Amino acid sequence: MEKEYIHIILADDDEDDRLFFTDAFEELKINTKVNTFNDGVELMDYLNHDDAILPNVLFLDLNMPKKNGIECLHEIKQNEKFNDIAIAIFSTSSSEEHIEETFVSGANIYIKKPSDFATLKKVLSDVVTINWQYHTSGLNKDNFLLRL
Amino acid sequence: MGIILLLLQLLKPKSEAMKIFIKFDFNAVCRKVLEDKLIKHHIKHRILGFGEVEILEKIDTANFAEFANELKEYGIDIIENQKTILVQKIKDTIIEMIHNPELVNVKSSVYLAEKLSHSYGYLSNLFSDVTYTSIENYIILQKIEHAKQLIVSSDLSLTEIAFQLNYSSVAHLSTQFKNVTGITPSAFQRIITKRREIANKK
């Protein structure tokens, strides 16, 4: 019962990154179901659908065509239906100012995109494990901020 | 089933009394009961094999408790749940320790083992199995969560918070805070304050 699936969504326009991402999750011990989308428009179309299965964690790439990660983040934060989703931002930038701004806008997790597969796996495992603790231990999600 | 047969026998004239013999397939009986109950409670599931059921979606706790109770009448117990209950007790005990100033100095392994009447090794393995994290990490996470709560909701200084949570120094708390969350306590405070300002403007 406690080992129910953790639903994960990634929106990223880079095909290689999406592949790395799904591969990394397949190698983790934690039971996850991963869905990917190619850009922000596709993602929001899916989420806004009435019977969409909402993810436990949503990973957003910052630079996407049509609708970027920050635009998605703002849209998601405006809709109460999405309150339970933990939002992780994937970015290549590590400017302190930018990171803080993203957190202020409502992101829970900020990840500097790792350059190698082993680090990516470790990072994703950390995210999912900590999110799991928030999910199962009734921790205050408003205080959920994590930078990796 | 046995009772109904008996009644029929009593209703019949004595001369027609008869005895029948029944053969059971226990696996089939259990499976049928389980399946009926799962369907009755609208639980989306997959029966994986004998004694293992996968629940495919989140279910309401009250509904699940009722489901578990009804199975009990048939002598069917949910085993994993016993483990979950113990894990919950471990978590509750940890939180109690962190929030109680008198317990904050007590060694957690000793206290947990004593309070829950299991060896620490057993508790520790069980905990890792179910929660994907270790008791040690969970304690740190909970302490940091408590520190966060105090940062945003009390007037205590970081030094006072460090003292209350039994850290040897404010630097120790800051370092652990940064290790767990990736950000410093002051950045955390700044972000939460800004978020509140934005929310208040709306």
Residue A2 confidence class, pLDDT cut points 50, 70, 90 = very low
* Alpha helices in chain B, H assignment, sequence order: 2-11, 26-40, 61-72, 79-99, 108-116, 120-131, 135-153, 158-164, 170-181, 185-201
Residue of A nearest to B150 (CA): A143
What's the mean pLDDT when you consider all of chain B?
Answer: 85
Is there a contact between A147 and B181 if contact means CB atoms under 8 Å apart?
yes
Domain ranges of chain A: 6-147
Indicate the fold that domain B138-201 takes in CATH.
Arc Repressor Mutant, subunit A (1.10.10)
User: Cα A65 to the chain's mean position, in Å?
Assistant: 18
**Residue A134 clears pLDDT 90, i.e. is over it:** no
* Interface mutation vs chain A, best among B134, B183, B188, B198, most A CBs within 10 Å: B183
Average pLDDT, integer, range B90-118: 88
**Residue A94 clears pLDDT 50, i.e. is over it:** yes
Nearest chain A CA: its distance from B2 CA (Å): 34
**Residue B5 clears pLDDT 70, i.e. is over it:** no
What's the mean pLDDT when you consider all of chain A?
Answer: 90
Assign domain A6-147 to a CATH class: alpha beta
Give ipTM to 2 decimals: 0.86
Nearest chain A CA: its distance from B183 CA (Å): 6
Q: Which of A46-55, A86-95, B79-88 has the lowest mean pLDDT?
A: B79-88
Option in B64, B132, B198 nearest A132 (CB): B132
- Return the closest-CA partner of residue A59 out of A26, A79, A30, A85: A85
